[in-house]
Amino acid sequence: MAQDQEQKVERTLVLLKPDALVRGFAGKIVTRFEDAALKIVGVKMKQMDAEFTRRHYFDLEERLGSEVYEFTARFMQQGPVIALVLEGFDAIATVRKIVGSTYPNEAPAGTIRGDFSHYSRGASVASGKAVANLVHASGNAEEAQQEVELWFDKDELHDYRTLAEIFTY
């Protein structure tokens, strides 16, 4: 049984985007993850330059076009971001549920995007700006692994036990 439980523990990347920082939501957002018994195993603040942005969003231009890539790149480079590696049972799906839909106006109340933003795809197109949606969260296990490896060296990730792990797992 312990082996099955260990297989469900995942790590995922979350970025608190420049809009989250300038609006003063970093602490509130991190609290949401900790309240869900997700453990922070890595954290850093970084200003994304053009080369690093390209590495992080390596397939965005191919998937959604150059205009979307350019909006996103400008948005992500306008200020620092906080990168977190979170760990826990089904961490990837749990984080995505806490974060909410990509478009904040479609995200339900109770999610980060639903509670702290209202920006829409239409507003993005009309303004020529990226969707200000506060956070990035890895979409699946493969993406999580790639993103964690891009953002963090192995010695920047930490293993420890939280009270949530001791009492609930």
Residues acting as catalytic residues: 136
Is there a contact between 46 and 13 (Cβ–Cβ < 8 Å)?
no
98 CB-near residues (< 8 Å, 6+ apart):
32, 33, 36, 111, 112
Per-residue tokens: 161 = 């036990």
Report how far Cα 146 is from the mean position of its chain's Cα atoms.
13
d(CA 64, CA 109): 27
Give the three-class secondary structure for 57: coil
Beta bridge partners of 16: 82, 135
